[in-house]
Structure 1
Amino acid sequence: MTSLDLISQIKARIATLTDPELATSDLTLTSCDREPIHIANVIQPHGVLIAFAEDNRVILQVSDNSEAFLGHTPEDILGKPLLMLLSHEQIESVLSCANADFEQVSILRLTLTIGWTSQCFECLVHRSDSVIVLEMERSIQHPEMNAFDFYKCVKAPINQLQGSHSIAQLSRQAVMAIYEITKFDRVMIYRFDEDGSGHVIAEATSEGTEPFLGLHFPATDIPKQAMELYRLNSLRIIPDALAKPVVLKPSLNPITGKPLDMSLSGLRGVSPLHTEYLENMGVRSSMSISILRDQQLWGLIACHHHVPKNLAYEARTNCEFLGQVLSLQVGSKVDAEDLNYKMKLQTVHNRFVNTVAICRTLGDGLKQNPTDLMELTGSSGVVFCESTKIESFGDTPPHSTIEGLLKWVDQTIGEDAIYSTSTLVTDYPEFLPYKNVASGLIALRISRAQQIYLLWFRPEVIQTINWAGEPTKSTGIDTGKGQRIAPRKSFDLWKEAVQLKSLPWKACEIEAALELRSSIIGVVLQKSDELALLNTELERSNIELDSFAYVASHDLKEPLRGIFNYSTFLLEDYGTQLGEDGNHKINTLMRLTQRMEDLINSLLHYSQINRTELNFQPVDIGVLLENVLDMFAVSQPGDIDFQIPRPLPIVYCDQSQI
């Protein structure tokens, strides 16, 4: 197939496609997040858009204002080679830009001869699906500043941003710098909260412009898909929100059969909802610069003007550059603040774990330093639960309420180890009476089998939030077919008192709780290892004791038997010659040797304690005491006077143990 045949096929395909129609009237109050703003099929009228195939460089789609910018109608150039508009060198430059970064937008300046005049265009080049998109705007010369002046405008603010010590100072310096460059009526920094809402943390305004500093805006003001486009595009400008949009021809890409994805397009048309939103705010022109942290949208630099306003490309790029510097500085400041706090928590964690490690039980470790345990998560109270045992420190709910809370936590977290909330009273209404101490909760399960938990609590913090208009007020218009979504019409100050909430838990505080669980489990395992070593050592000692007992019972008994036998022979052969005193001493010697043998037998039996059963039998304590007194009479004769005032009982016991 020749290139001419392919061009003919593309022309035939284009002829079958229709122009787009905006269907915003069907958007309902619940479908704002589904508005397909990335495939608007329209552009703003201050530029022209061309989409062409990379392989044969044939023009596939073009905006309907091509004649005003390029001197050719869409019908003239659709299906034609791009060479009809650009030179070979210019086309190669465009392709080079498209190949530079497949995920980003590249910039280019082209000079074209339109009719008999040369015109300079600022161009953006990016890929979309299987085509290359070329967007062109006529160059604007700033009436007051040249390129060197712009450099001077940026150099000083960058130095100031680098020297800022806080997010607040950083934001103030950034809005002042962009205000001086752009001369917009309002320049503000809008920081997003975790729930998608945001608030204005810095602002610079012209005289007579209503200030928004300190106001909060609900998450519904910027739908999710719009936030994603802000993340992808670092700068977005709308010179005139009320300007009539320009459609693309044809409405569908001839190759894909789908609308052109304009996510990376700088000229992308303005959503009718956003146009109405700006009009309600009294804004005719706007510019937004994204502030990213870790590739996620942290905030926006929003610029507003009451009348139509376009900016020279040098001014835009300088503002975009400042936004990128601001993003780096914000990331650095936030990371530094997080790191300092994490280091503090780590110090507390180490100190607490060291205390627990030297204590007999976890409960004992908690009692040693409960302040560290609370400081670990920034809580005001903590409860330790082990089976039915409950111990509390700081400000906590009554013990009688904890069992019910634990049952609810178990059902809520399932197999997870942790649960956190700053709206405990809303989630678990039974705790409403205890909101002053328990509006926030981190529940940490250490052992499910042994029912060991740690519960951290935070009190209620009542806040007053200043909203730009009532955030929950309906924004629908009745069309007879249901409500059509419409932007808010009022941005007047509206105060909301937020109750039944604690301060939110930081991610690093939740991580600290999980790390504590790991450390506690590690300590338990360490103690288990130590116990195993002790058992091994005890087993070795028992073996040595058995060996010693055997030696004692065998080797020591033999001399004793000899002494006893020879004493017996002595009495039998020479008893009449020894006299009464001699016979008494020989008899005492025999009793002592017998007692010594009994002690050796007891030692052998004692070495087998816990490995043999106790031998219970009647034992005469009086006889036992006489044996002991005999030993004292020999070792210390006459030094001790023993008196037994009454007969001693017979007890039932193991004689070797006494």
Structure 2
Amino acid sequence: MTSLDFISQVNRSIAMLTDPKLVASDLGLTNCDREPIHIPNAIQAHGVLLTFTQTDLTILQISQNCEALLGRSAAACLGQPLSVLMAPAQITKIESCLNADFENVNPLRLSLQVDGKLQGFEGILHRSNGVVVLEIERLAIAEDPAQSDVRSVSFFDFYKFVKAPIARIQNTQTLAELARQTVTAIRTLTGFDRIMLYRFAEDGSGKVIAEAKSDGLDSLLGLHYPASDIPQQAKELYRLNLLRIIPDASYTPSQLEPQLNPITSEPLDLSLSVLRSVSPMHIEYLANMGVHASMSISLLRDRQLWGLIACHHNSPRQLSYETRTICEFLGQVVSFEVGSKADAEDLDYKLQLQTAQARFIDTIANCLSLRDGFAQNPTDLTAIVGAAGAIFCERGQVNAFGSAPPSESIANLINWIDTQIGEDAVFSTNTLVSEYPPMAPHKDVASGLLALRISQIQKTYLLWFRPEVLQTIDWGGEPNKPVAVSEDGTLQLTPRKSFERWKETVRLKSLPWKACELEAALELRSRIIGIVLQKADELAVLNAELQRSNIELDSFAYVASHDLKEPLRGIHNYSTFLIEDYGDKLGEDGTHKLATLMRLTQRMEDLIESLLHYSRCGRAELQFQSVNLAQLLDNVLNTIEIGHPSINAKFQIPRSLPVVQGDRTQLTELFTNLISNAIKYNDRDPKTIEIGYILPDENRDSVPADLDLDLDRSQTIFYVKDNGIGIRAKHLENIFKIFKRLHPASKYGGGTGAGLTIARKIVERHGGILTVTSTFGEGSTFYFTLGSRS
């Protein structure tokens, strides 16, 4: 971005902040930040401002005080060439500068005839609204030399003036020492009664962190000033103009003639003008402080206004352009040093944060989940940003570490954070209670908040908290905006009249979050995302390997099982032949052993058949279609009743089951297995089996809390509930393992122990989860979902 682009950008910002129709008499409590101070249509009285065209040097506008300072009336100058005011040599000097960078040619030494006498002036050029602006200042504003500085500075003089102050400034070690050296150097250079270095806080208020003053003046060191003392549009101008001087605050403004720029028919933008008239509010503010002349030097950090060097004098005081340039140059040096000193002061603390982060990253990198990693190293988790407590929230589940607000308050807090964080990943405040009043009961642990959004889709957040810290602030006068009642009864804003030390106890605030702490939080987010992506890659490789292994295992199981069935049938058949042909010779004991052999071969064939069935379940291509579960359930129950006509079972269906997307054959087997088990492992009379489902908006009331980690509550949950023998808690997962039986084969109707394994496989292939809750001796309930297609 070029300097002209930057200036244009700032001018646009100022225009957006202000209201060009607002005049000083209309200033009130709600609009002081809208005063158009960049287009006052007037200048300070110690100089003349005029605008002219670059092509023919025709004067377009001129200040009304031109007659008093230059001996020509405004009417006599408007529409005339510059030659009406100055000799050809002066015109040539101005013309030679028009195509140059004005910063390199300012100021121009001009000699003008005034009332028949040749007088010396400084000319300063810049462009605004398509015209050239020339500001002409007399080299002195009073007969008293103490009120003016008329030095002319050559390059070598400039070097002499800045060499020693810069050396002292650069040799400082701390920000406080830098500030002290700065105010001392500026006071020595300018002779102002008081020099203050004023640092801005994030809320726009400021504090005097260094002061150099004349004897007899009360000290303002350490005093705070509210953000309203310098409106936002004024701060924008301070950011654009690195130096601003008011030689005599008691001046009478000189209006421009005409009031509107003839080229644009709008007020002339005086953002870059050194003579720009001052807001009446600021003039009254200076008068209330007893200040007759002032100068401010802007201090920037990262192109933002970091602070001001404020210079005050108890009588009018003018400085030459050269002296002001030296001050501006020193201000730029100090701006550079401010950044490096502030970074140096934070360096040790940054190293602590980085060390804590490195330890913490090592911890979570070796854990199965982020939650496990946070739980294993909560000390470093809070130390990463200098917090007292933290909360990790993932998909609504909350884990608290250290001093943190209760978990039940977090869901609404995160909803509020989402409205504040926007597209950014981080949000911070040290006034959480003021911004989010529901946190007031927890101010002792949560007056400050730093929120990090790790994943919006997964609803993953990391919140750090700081407690309330009571602070006593010394203000330079009562900080609230003073008001007066006008004749019509409206409230008018007035500058503060008292600057006596005023103490305030600040509550509901934590220590502010430093920039390095926000950087540490964002760095942690990047590192976490990197670890998650790395684990996802590793998991993808493992899944691919597991899928290949499963395919090979299924193929092996299918082939092996199919090939084993033939010899088993041969053993069974030959055992039958032996009993039939040689039973009388083998005797009772031999016949019994052969019968046992036949039972074992039959048992093995059943196991092999179950293994084949399980293998086919994993290998078969699913045929997804709309399946009416109500009709499917009717068919399943009819089949079971036909196959077990003597059972005394009551089937309860609270409401008709819905239509889902799935494989009809496998869903039939799923319900058959679950209902058959509910009948088989039941010694009640009658046996009661309930088959139903729970819609998403019914989940919280209808599903046991212990299923929170297993089931997706945004899906329909189906269940099969019985009043059977139940399952002990330690066996709940064992029942889903293939061929795992909790009872002897001869008890509860036998079976191979593969039914529930096959049922879970069917559910998983439909993208769902099958789980169980049970009370031993009372019954069991099997819950399952069927994925996003259901």
Which TM-score tier does this pair reach, normalised by the shorter chain?
A: 0.7 to 0.9
* Equivalent position to 1:424, from 421, 424, 432: 432
Pairwise CA distance, 1:603? 6.3
Aligned pairs for 1:521-540 within 5 A:
523-540=531-548
Distance 1:384 1:267 in 2: 57
Pairwise CA distance, 1:97? 3.8
Deviations 1:105-133 (A, max 9, x none): 95132332516654332221001112111
Long gaps (5+) in structure 1: 1-20, 619-646
* 382-391 or 32-41: bigger deviation: 382-391
Question: Would the alpha carbon gap of residues 406 and 262 (structure 1) be closer, same or farther in structure 2, given more than 3 Å must change?
Answer: closer
Pairwise CA distance, 1:61? 1.7
* Equivalent position to 1:157, from 150, 162, 165: 165
Aligned pairs for 1:551-590 within 5 A:
552=560
Does residue 120 of structure 2 align to residue 112 of structure 1? no
Aligned pairs for 1:136-151 within 5 A:
136-139=136-139, 142=149, 151=159
State the structure with bigger RCO (CA 8 A, min sep 6), 1 or 2: 1
* 35-44 or 495-504: bigger deviation: 35-44
Pairwise CA distance, 1:29? 3.4
Distance 1:80 1:296 in 2: 42
**Sequence identity percentage:** 57
Does residue 459 of structure 2 align to residue 460 of structure 1? no
Long gaps (5+) in structure 2: 1-20, 141-147, 618-668, 681-743, 756-790
1:45 aligned partner:
45
Question: Would the alpha carbon gap of residues 416 and 182 (structure 1) be closer, same or farther in structure 2, given more than 3 Å must change?
Answer: closer
Deviations 1:410-429 (A, max 9, x none): 67668876543322223343
Q: Is the 8 A contact 2:128 2:269 kept in 1?
A: yes
1:12 aligned partner:
none
SS of the aligned residue for 1:39 comes to coil
Distance 1:55 1:139 in 2: 29
* 111-120 or 390-399: bigger deviation: 111-120
Distance 1:43 1:398 in 2: 60
Q: Is the 8 A contact 1:63 1:248 kept in 2?
A: yes
Pairwise CA distance, 1:352? 2.9
SS of the aligned residue for 1:287 comes to strand
Does residue 481 of structure 2 align to residue 482 of structure 1? no
1:100 aligned partner:
100
Deviations 1:438-483 (A, max 9, x none): 1112344555676544332110011111111101152435344634
Q: Is the 8 A contact 2:241 2:272 kept in 1?
A: yes
Pairwise CA distance, 1:406? 4.7
Aligned pairs for 1:93-492 within 5 A:
93-101=93-101, 107-114=106-113, 117-139=117-139, 142=149, 151-335=159-343, 345=353, 348-386=356-394, 389-403=397-411, 405-406=413-414, 409=417, 419-446=427-454, 452-476=460-484, 478-480=486-488, 482-492=490-500
Deviations 1:20-50 (A, max 9, x none): x995333333332232322222222222222
Distance 1:421 1:588 in 2: 83
Pairwise CA distance, 1:535? 3.3
Question: Would the alpha carbon gap of residues 270 and 450 (structure 1) be closer, same or farther in structure 2, given more than 3 Å must change?
Answer: closer
Q: Is the 8 A contact 2:48 2:63 kept in 1?
A: yes
Q: Which amino acid aligns with 2:111?
A: L
Question: Would the alpha carbon gap of residues 274 and 105 (structure 1) be closer, same or farther in structure 2, given more than 3 Å must change?
Answer: farther
Distance 1:68 1:515 in 2: 63
Does residue 31 of structure 2 align to residue 31 of structure 1? yes
Deviations 1:138-160 (A, max 9, x none): 33685899755654332111112
Deviations 1:274-314 (A, max 9, x none): 22211111111111111112222211111111111112333
Q: Is the 8 A contact 1:542 1:607 kept in 2?
A: no
Question: Would the alpha carbon gap of residues 572 and 386 (structure 1) be closer, same or farther in structure 2, given more than 3 Å must change?
Answer: closer
Distance 1:341 1:204 in 2: 31
SS of the aligned residue for 2:132 comes to strand
- TM-score normalised by the chain length of structure 1: 0.79
Distance 2:221 2:36 in 1: 31
SS of the aligned residue for 1:30 comes to coil
Question: Would the alpha carbon gap of residues 94 and 411 (structure 1) be closer, same or farther in structure 2, given more than 3 Å must change?
Answer: closer
Question: Would the alpha carbon gap of residues 131 and 522 (structure 1) be closer, same or farther in structure 2, given more than 3 Å must change?
Answer: same
SS of the aligned residue for 1:199 comes to strand
Question: Would the alpha carbon gap of residues 657 and 51 (structure 1) be closer, same or farther in structure 2, given more than 3 Å must change?
Answer: closer
Does residue 85 of structure 2 align to residue 77 of structure 1? no
Question: Would the alpha carbon gap of residues 537 and 86 (structure 1) be closer, same or farther in structure 2, given more than 3 Å must change?
Answer: same
Q: Is the 8 A contact 1:42 1:248 kept in 2?
A: yes
Deviations 1:625-656 (A, max 9, x none): xxxxxxxxxxxxxxxxxxxxxx9955644448
Pairwise CA distance, 1:549? 4.3
State the number of aligned residues: 605
SS of the aligned residue for 2:295 comes to strand
Deviations 1:463-506 (A, max 9, x none): 11111110115243534463443211110000011001112223
Distance 1:657 1:648 in 2: 13
SS of the aligned residue for 2:551 comes to helix
* 590-599 or 308-317: bigger deviation: 590-599
Pairwise CA distance, 1:245? 2.8
* 225-234 or 459-468: bigger deviation: 225-234
Q: Is the 8 A contact 1:27 1:485 kept in 2?
A: yes
SS of the aligned residue for 1:100 comes to coil
Question: Would the alpha carbon gap of residues 137 and 604 (structure 1) be closer, same or farther in structure 2, given more than 3 Å must change?
Answer: same
Distance 2:412 2:106 in 1: 63
Distance 1:595 1:22 in 2: 101
Aligned pairs for 1:633-648 within 5 A:
none
* 51-60 or 330-339: bigger deviation: 330-339
Distance 2:222 2:612 in 1: 81
Q: Which amino acid aligns with 1:252?
A: L
Question: Would the alpha carbon gap of residues 287 and 477 (structure 1) be closer, same or farther in structure 2, given more than 3 Å must change?
Answer: farther
Distance 2:353 2:609 in 1: 57
SS of the aligned residue for 2:60 comes to strand
Pairwise CA distance, 1:260? 2.1
Q: Is the 8 A contact 1:200 1:212 kept in 2?
A: yes
Question: Would the alpha carbon gap of residues 605 and 488 (structure 1) be closer, same or farther in structure 2, given more than 3 Å must change?
Answer: same
Question: Would the alpha carbon gap of residues 63 and 510 (structure 1) be closer, same or farther in structure 2, given more than 3 Å must change?
Answer: same
Distance 1:105 1:51 in 2: 20
Distance 1:554 1:610 in 2: 11
SS of the aligned residue for 1:202 comes to strand
Q: Is the 8 A contact 2:477 2:498 kept in 1?
A: yes
Q: Which amino acid aligns with 1:239?
A: P
Pairwise CA distance, 1:389? 4.2
Deviations 1:41-65 (A, max 9, x none): 2222222222111122101122233
Question: Would the alpha carbon gap of residues 357 and 253 (structure 1) be closer, same or farther in structure 2, given more than 3 Å must change?
Answer: same
Q: Is the 8 A contact 1:421 1:442 kept in 2?
A: yes
Question: Would the alpha carbon gap of residues 269 and 549 (structure 1) be closer, same or farther in structure 2, given more than 3 Å must change?
Answer: closer
SS of the aligned residue for 1:37 comes to coil
